Structure 1
Amino acid sequence: MERSFARRELLGTAAAVGATALLGPLAGSARAADGSAEGPWPTRFLLPNGFQPEGITIGRSPYAYLGSLGTGDVYRASLATGRGRIVSKGPGAGHSVAGLKIDRYERRLFLSGGFSREIRVADARSGDIVRNFPVGAANSMVNDVILTPGAAWFTDSFQPQLYRLPLDRRGEPDRAVETVPLGGEWEQGTDFTANGIERTPDGRALLVVNTVVEGGSLMRVDPRTATARRVDLGDLRIPFGDGLLLLGRHLYIVQQQRNQVDVVLLNDVGTRGTAIGRITDPERFRIPTTAAAFGGRIYLPNARFDVGPTPETEYDVVAVGQV
């Protein structure tokens, strides 16, 4: 993942962080999905030293799963206590987990393999890798993933294409991965371009971060034709856009090197959005990359791309309140 780290460090030195926090860190108890108090769950918990997190996913149960860029390990942490353990052993150096999602049955983890150009599927209970699909070309990077009722979709940060892994009615992969070239208004840069991926509020299209178009934009992609159109976000630009999280019509856009999360209210079809807030936390944000939600909170892993990773480097996950 050295190329990814190097680019992000360069981007970080160029970013001017001057945003005022419109929304502060969560101060009180977590809230359950039904609005009841969950008690004083931690708003920060540590990961193993040297873990190198980037992706995070949370299902219906109060557990966060995080992937390691260094080894491809998957770590599961209890949101109630902050304690956790490695639940899936990765293939080792060069076989990272950049993004990951747990399915609605909490049975499978879909893993983006970064520069290893692998899409892996792990059993969420045993941790075993049950499927491994090689994809892409020599300069491909499988970065992020989103699940839809019929497929798992993955971004490629260095090629103008997505990957579609078809799923059967039980959520099992049932065919080979399809490479889907992007068209329309998609522009591919000479370097890192596509990043986070989500669905539109109506579920009919995909949303993909493009770091090149108009200085950093959100693109709406028709899954039937792969035609991309820029989402109108007004004056908001997302050159450091990373993970996307959709809650209702609220889209949380993690701008990692800027240490901020921009919050956008989308229309149902995902063609237009209005910036309604920004979450910053100078004391606790250390280049957060992705986001997942549970019980009124947003959880973000700090990737710390501004420091060289070592076996002793400290990594953590922090929680903030939802808008």
Structure 2
Amino acid sequence: MQRSFARRSLFGAAAAVGGAALLGPLGGTASATGAAGRRWPTGFPLPDGFRPEGITIGSKPYAYIGSIARGDVYRADLATGDGRVVVKGLGPEHPVIGLKIDAWGRLFLSGGVSGEIRVADLRTGTVTKTFTVGTDVTMVNDVILTPDAAWFTDSFEPQLYKLPLGRRGEPGNRVITVPLTGDWVQGTAITANGITTTPDGRALLVVNDFADGGSLMRVDPRTGVARTVDIGPTLLPNGDGLLLLGRTLYVVQQRQNAIDVLRLDDAGTKGTAITRITDPEHFRVPTTAAVHGDRIYLPNARFDVTEPTPETDYDVVSVRRVHA
């Protein structure tokens, strides 16, 4: 099981690239180049009042963004910036926080404080499975797909949730709760946040926003034992979404309006800071990240707006991948 986990995780990951950090311009005058030489927008608006948090991009150039406000999933064409709601939510009590798309057109959705894990079919736009996990203080935050499971973090309880998957990614009929032990320290507020795999695919990486002032944990998926990753003096108190490309890890530090970029060893036990990406003009509390081509796309969650309204504007911005 461990060898299969590693091999197939690496098969689905993008390869690391080399060179120095390059930060791309954003805004109305900037653009990205598509496969046919077309100029693509590097940012695009979302519907007013949408309240985005998670983003995922599959093999095709479409970004899927989840809504905290109503639980909708919005699909945006990266070539044009145009989009529409493709999965209609059930209202404010059923938000979408994190989400991931698989190769068969399924979306795996984290339901936040609803305690729900949902699976949606993009062909029909309907939710096909719903699981309720945890307790009344649970917050299902982020999700990563491995060859045999969808893994979800719980921000308020020291545990992960494992939804087993079949050979063609079909979800099972029950969710397994995996307690976090070892070096894991649970805070009184949001603790576990973003999740991904180690570069060798043998373990999980989870942001702990509380332990040691904000840290990265390597979790054994079989046992739930967590060990602190040595990332030197880098702290992750606002660590949110994780994006792993080869051995390069992007950690979105939402309220810092920054992305810390780390170079990891294969096992994910040690990391070195490469650079920090910031964009004061366009970052408005970005939360998560997804990649297409040479660009990384981030939704601006605008968590600094204390009372969002149906008229509050939101958008997705992008930066160039770091070549390191």
TM-score, structure 2 as length reference: 0.90
Cross-structure match for 2:135: 137
Cross-structure match for 2:269: 271
The residue correspondences of 1:155-170 to structure 2 (distance < 5 A) are 155-170=153-168
User: Where in structure 2 are there 5+ consecutive unaligned residues?
Assistant: 1-20
Cross-structure match for 2:14: none
Structure 1 counterpart of 2:166, which letter? D
Cα distance in 2 between the residues matched to 1:40 and 1:176: 45
Matched residue SS, 1:189 = coil
Cα distance in 2 between the residues matched to 1:109 and 1:212: 29
Distance 1:37 1:26, change over 3 A: farther
1:52 and 2:51 matched: yes
Cross-structure match for 1:30: 32
Distance 1:38 1:301, change over 3 A: farther
Cross-structure match for 2:8: none
Task: State the Cα RMSD in Å.
Answer: 1.2
Cross-structure match for 1:76: 75
Matched residue SS, 1:271 = coil
- Match 1:219 to one of 217, 220, 224: 217
Cα distance in 2 between the residues matched to 1:244 and 1:206: 11
Cross-structure match for 2:174: 176
Kept in 2: contact 1:23–1:277 (CA 8 A): no
Q: Please state how far the C-alpha of 1:127 moved relative to its aligned partner.
A: 1.2
Q: Please state how far the C-alpha of 1:37 moved relative to its aligned partner.
A: 6.3
The total of aligned residue pairs comes to: 298
Kept in 2: contact 1:254–1:289 (CA 8 A): yes
Cross-structure match for 1:318: 317
Kept in 2: contact 1:154–1:163 (CA 8 A): yes
Structure 2 counterpart of 1:63, which letter? Y
Cα distance in 1 between the residues matched to 2:37 and 2:268: 33
Cross-structure match for 1:9: none
Q: Deviations over 1:6-38 (max 9, x none)?
A: xxxxxxxxxxxxxxxx75334765356xxx564
The residue correspondences of 1:91-106 to structure 2 (distance < 5 A) are 91-105=90-104
User: Identity across aligned pairs (percent)?
Assistant: 67
User: Where in structure 1 are there 5+ consecutive unaligned residues?
Assistant: 1-21
Q: Please state how far the C-alpha of 1:183 moved relative to its aligned partner.
A: 0.6
Matched residue SS, 1:287 = coil
Kept in 1: contact 2:47–2:314 (CA 8 A): yes
Cross-structure match for 1:189: 187
Kept in 1: contact 2:33–2:39 (CA 8 A): no
Cα distance in 2 between the residues matched to 1:69 and 1:137: 20
Cross-structure match for 2:6: none
- Match 2:116 to one of 108, 115, 118: 118
Kept in 1: contact 2:23–2:321 (CA 8 A): no
